[in-house]
Structure 1
Amino acid sequence: MVSMSDFRVPDMHCDGCVRSLTGAAHALDAKAVVSADLTTKLVHVETSATDAAVAEAFRDAGFDVEAA
């Protein structure tokens, strides 16, 4: 089952950050779809992984994560 979740990532500043976050999501679910808005600092993830797992993966990649 695929779920859609939004996360606020305040320290996401560039395309490199987006690539890191996308890689973290893909490590959990190779079919995850990730979109990010650098202006609003929001990351939208469509994945079979849980919200908690995605948030933990983002934190493990070095980012602060808040529920959006």
Structure 2
Amino acid sequence: MTSQMNSTSCCTPAGTCGSDARADVQVGITTVYKVTGMTCGHCEGSVSREVSAIPGVTSVKAVAATGLLTVTSTRPLDDEAVRAAVDEAGYELAGRV
């Protein structure tokens, strides 16, 4: 039964994985900003939507409780583009953390 289980595993006997483990990993540049004025989930969503529209952005996480905005992108971000997006959402970008 053990050999049957090994034949369905993606891992080799040497302990290496036969699948592309990077498929589940967010690859890119992560930048964290401080945003003022966010107080709720609606605020988080508004900021996230606007910042997500910036070319090259692959993920955005805004947290009202901390005021932190974490942005992952395929290339370095233009802080002024992030500032404009946050402003468009109705909040203020205080700067990078």
Normalising by structure 1, report the TM-score: 0.77
Between 1 and 2, higher relative CO (CA 8 Å, sep ≥ 6) is seen in 1
Rounded to whole Å, the distance in 1 between the matches of 2:87 and 2:58 is 17
C-alpha deviation, 1:35, in angstroms: 1.3
Q: Say which one has the larger Rg.
A: 2
Corresponding letter in the other structure for 1:5: T
* 1:25–1:57 CA contact under 8 A, matched in 2: yes
1:26 and 2:52 correspond: yes
Residues 1-68 of structure 1 correspond to what in structure 2 (within 5 A)? Answer: 2-29=28-55, 31-47=57-73, 48=75, 49-67=77-95, 68=97
Superposition deviation, residue 62 in structure 1 = 1.1
After superposition, the CA RMSD in angstroms is 1.9
Structure 2 unaligned regions, length at least 5: 1-27
Structure 1: stretches of 5+ with no match in the other structure: none
Query: Normalising by structure 2, what TM-score?
Result: 0.58
